Structure 1
Amino acid sequence: PACYGMSGEEPTITDANHLLGRVEHLLGGEMKLNTVLAEKAMEKVAKQLGQTLVETSWSSLVLANLHMARAVHIVTLERGLDPTEFTLVAFGGAGPMHAAELAEQIGISKIVIPPSPGLFSSLGLLMTDMKYSYVKGYVKIISKDDEEKIEQTYREIEAYAVSQLSRKVALKDYRIVRTIDLRYLGQGYEIEVGAPHPFKLEEVFTKFEELHSSTYGYKHVGEKIESTALRVYVIIPTRRQTLPKTYNQRGNAAKSVRRVFFRDGFMESPVLWRESLETGYEAEGPLVIEEYDSTTVVPPDWRIHVEDNGCMVMKR
């Protein structure tokens, strides 16, 4: 970003957020952002569009949110899931800045911002179970006669997986998950279906047709079903850590008030420090909540509440 003052000359979404008053500094105030450099970079685009700096910055955010909404649709609507039935979890340094407008774009009415959102992915990496995948191609129109052969193949894959992993990691309390890739004969795409121990074809076919119906809106009962691959996952659990509560009860006085741009223009918005928000704190937007590793923007018509686990919940 140009506003970092580190030789960047092209405008970025961070520059747009800065020019709209959404973020003034990073690292809890240790890193100030350079408004002049952000304006100089954004001016290049604004002149080409015949817009003001504010108009161009806002258009940039709208476009960025549309791209993110498209990504959400890929993992929901295109898999037969309704995004409006889900809660949006906003993390990363900039995720909570875009969360509300993104949620509006895709029809979500509830957002959860975890403690230390900028570190959320790293924390997840440390706490996630280790998962090893083994796949064997098995392209065949399958029937009841194949049940024993498929079970034997699964056992061979599992034996190989355990043998290989035991040389690399301590295999203790691991579990094995089986799946099979299935499709109707003639289709060019598959659905991964959970497979039982021991393998039961009727149960797998029932699951496949249910998943196909929920994903694509139809199923062909009695149609030939083809497998393409057998999968085995070896999952080694990671010891779960108990996280301490990070937020105290030192009051919730605003650090300051600044002009922040929303859909209808600039609005005077309180700026709060997240660690000063006590459990149970509630407020309506517009407001900005800053912390060391992230910034949360709460637009008008949204309300935020601090849960006893340290998470902030936004609703509209």
Structure 2
Amino acid sequence: MSIKKKFAAEIGGTFTDIILFEDVNGKTQLKTLKVASTPSHPEEAVIEGADKLMKDWSNTAEMLHGSTVATNAVLERKGVSTALLVTEGFADTLEILRGDKTNIYDLFYQRPAPVVPRNLVYPVTERLSAQGEVIIPLSEAQIRQIAGQLKEQGVKSVGICFLHSYASEKHEKMAKKIIEEEISDCIVTASYEILPQFREYERTSTVAITSYIAPVMIRYIESLYHQLQARGFGGEIFITQSNGGVIPMDALRKEVARTLLSGPAAGVTGAVFMAKQVGIEDIITLDIGGTSADVCLINKGNPLVSTTNEIDGNAIAVPMLDIVTVGAGGGSIAWVDGGGMLQVGPQSAGADPGPACYCRGGTKPTLSDAMAYRGLLRPDHFAGGNYKLDPQKSRKVIGEIAQQLGTTPDEMAEAICRVMEANTMQAVRLASTERGYDARNYTMVAFGGAGALMAASIAGELGMKKVLVPCYAGLLSSFGLLVADIIRDYVQTKVSLCVETSPEDLKNQFEKMQDKAVQDMVNYGFKRENLKFQYAVDARYQGQAFELQVDFDHIPENGEEITNAFHEVHRARYGFNSPQNLVEIVNYRLKTIVPQDNDLLSGMKYDEAVDKEEYVVQKALMGGEWKDCRFYTWSRLPKDAVIQGPAVIEDETSTCVVPQTWTAKLQKNGSLILEKEEN
């Protein structure tokens, strides 16, 4: 018998989602599991799930992992003592930021504290021109002196970011070599390795954060790897990135910053895969978990990407899926503000103590409590019956806040849901309308534990006619890890006007980056013939302060092709363009991809042998009334089932609500498509 296995685990704020993929003689088998997250020691939930699902780790080729460890290390300031070497005169870069003020009306506003304190920022006497020419040579003696001070202070991680190092790596490379010689156990991160890109603050901030969290993330992954090895695992660990791809563990040292905010990215990858299976390419994803709602827009199967990102007020300039996040999840707490208005979130009950109905000590009303109160989450069927709910506790906390606002518990339960929907709709508008896209032209893909609970109501309010709820909706982030390609992004700043850029210039620049990419990927164990490349440039009108990314599936033939494409991208984003203005290339970008072999997963089919629909009728609070509602078990639906709302379709990982004016149809791969009936 031929057996191959893949194990995927994604750590969320409330639950850790796990999927075991087995290829047994060419036939796909998937086993799924949800376990409570363990925020203080996140690997414990992964190991718990592994022990429950995996009795034999032999023949397991890959462990795919999505984790919030890097993000939490920044948010909670639990990185390591980190030093930063910068060009003399630029020691205050992290404090100055861009000189802006996030809230101009806050008289007591304070900029976020940088992850590297000012006393550990060391100015270095050196200088390069913007063309990479040496103006002031680097002093080896000064670097060795600084290294001695760092060693005395017990610094374990050092970042290096010199002015204009994107044009020449000479000084950073020399400084890194010296520090590694002087402090053997120190992790040294130089900007030329991870972000050879202009804009001094963004590059410095990215290097600082990478250095701050690199030892934490490396220690975590190595600990997890050793625990899996003790169980017989001999394969490779791949870590999810914020660009939707994964990287091997060996690439982590240079790519730590790319794992920040990566949790929602795997879900987007899974959503794109599932949508393509049913012939849909233009989608808006809605991932509602325990603590947040994440929204991403995808055109023709390609998610929007952003390179201007922040975490806790600190810039991260690596490519990330353009995901809009709001604090609206199943654990979001309902509360009354100073003006007597009902609010939901962003505070969350999280995994511990969780919503009141989870019976873990939670005492505040949450969205999950409102859903349990309304009868949409049934006590013995939540998460496949693995987590018993107590609606009585929900009634108690909902009643308390209802009394505070002088309304009935019924009205309060539905009001909590409506406020949550309004918060989430704002995220959808930010991801679509405010970027120049009409949400009505897209299909909403809902997943996460609570996504399918809310999706139809939210889509209906936005004028969207169709919702796709994928099979494994509650575990789609883990599923996304299974189907994610191995991706590594490269960038290089080189400024020139399109009219002055020759075809040879374009070809030489991209081929130089491509050679570097091939060398890296071969060192990680991948074959040259398996690599695919995507090309892009960041361009702007001459005199503009910021640029737009222009994508190509080939190396652009000349500057005119880039100019014409930029005019189109500018019009799509801002509603106008200026063909009379010169276009300037700022950055060259290369995406290197090792496509995953997803043939078996692509062939997933729903083959449950059920003759007819089976359901029970129970009361549920909808539209101010307790109505008869049909409850179905997802895995017991017959092929081609068509379900009229109001109905609830329950799965071990999620619950799908079909409102009264909607119809749900089962697809060949087990997913559901909900469509709004025409008036």
TM-score normalised by length of structure 2: 0.45
Shift in Å at residue 107 of structure 1? 1.3
2:385 corresponds in structure 1 to 29
The 8 Å contact of residues 498 and 562 in structure 2, kept in 1 or not, is answered as no
Question: Closer, same or farther in 2 for the Cα pair 1:198/1:254, shift >3 Å?
Answer: closer
Give matches, 1:172-211, under 5 Å. Answer: 172-195=529-552, 196-211=554-569
2:400 paired with 1:20: no
Deviates more, 1:93-102 or 1:135-144: 135-144
Match for residue 241 of structure 2?
none
Q: State the partner residue of 2:362.
A: 8
* Structure 2 counterpart of 1:190, one-letter code: E
1:11 Cα deviation after fit? 1.7
Structure 1: runs of 5 or more not aligned? none
1:53 aligns with 2:409: yes
- In 1, distance between residues paired with 2:512 and 2:567? 27
Q: Match for 1:30: what amino acid?
A: N
CA shift digits 1:55-110 (9 cap, x unpaired):
22212211221222222222222222111111111222211111100111221111
Q: What amino acid does structure 2 have at the position aligned with 1:84?
A: R
Unaligned 5+ segments in structure 2 are 1-354
1:178 to 1:253, Cα distance in 2 relative to 1, 3 A = closer
Displacement of 1:264 in angstroms is: 4.3
- The one-letter code of the counterpart of 1:19 is Y
Greater RCO structure (CA 8 Å; 6+ sep): 1
Distance in 2, Cα, partners of 1:187 & 1:17: 49
Hey, what does 1:218 align to over in structure 2? 576
Letter in 2 for 1:16: A
Aligned identity (percent) is 29
Q: Which amino acid aligns with 1:238?
A: Q
Name the aligned partner's letter for residue 594 of structure 2. I
**CA distance, structure 2, for counterparts of residue 183 and residue 68 of structure 1:** 32
Residue aligning to 1:242? 600
Moved more, 284-293 or 38-47: 38-47
State how far apart, in whole Å, the 2-side matches of 1:217 and 1:159 are.
38
> In the alignment, what sits opposite 1:315?
675
- Measured at CA, do residues 45 and 140 of structure 1 come closer, stay the same or move farther in structure 2, by a change above 3 Å? farther
Measure, in 2, the Cα distance between the counterparts of 1:44 and 1:132.
51
- Give me the TM-score of the superposition, normalised by structure 1: 0.93
C-alpha contact (below 8 Å) 1:183/1:189 kept by paired residues: yes
Distance 2:426 2:547 in 1: 22
Q: Is the 8 A contact 1:138 1:230 kept in 2?
A: yes
CA distance in 1, matches of 2:610, 2:373: 31
2:625 aligned to which of 251, 265, 273: 265
- Aligned partners of 1:247 and 1:276 also within 8 Å: no
Query: 3-state DSSP class of the match of 2:649?
Result: strand
Say if 2:469 is the partner of 1:116. Answer: no
Deviation at 1:54, TM superposition (A): 2.1
**Matched residue count:** 316
User: How far apart in 2 are the matches of 1:114 and 1:182?
Assistant: 37
AA partner of residue 180 (structure 1): V
- In structure 2, the partner of 1:133 is 489
Taking the aligned partners of 1:210 and 1:100, their CA distance within structure 2 comes to: 33
Q: CA 1:112–1:159 in 2, change beyond 3 Å: closer, same or farther? A: same
CA distance in 1, matches of 2:633, 2:623: 24
Q: Give 1:18 deviation, angstroms.
A: 0.8
What is the letter of the counterpart of residue 410 of structure 2?
Answer: V
Aligned AA for 1:229? N
- Contact 1:129/1:237, CA 8 A, preserved across alignment: yes
Contact 2:610/2:639 (CA < 8 Å) preserved in 1? Answer: no
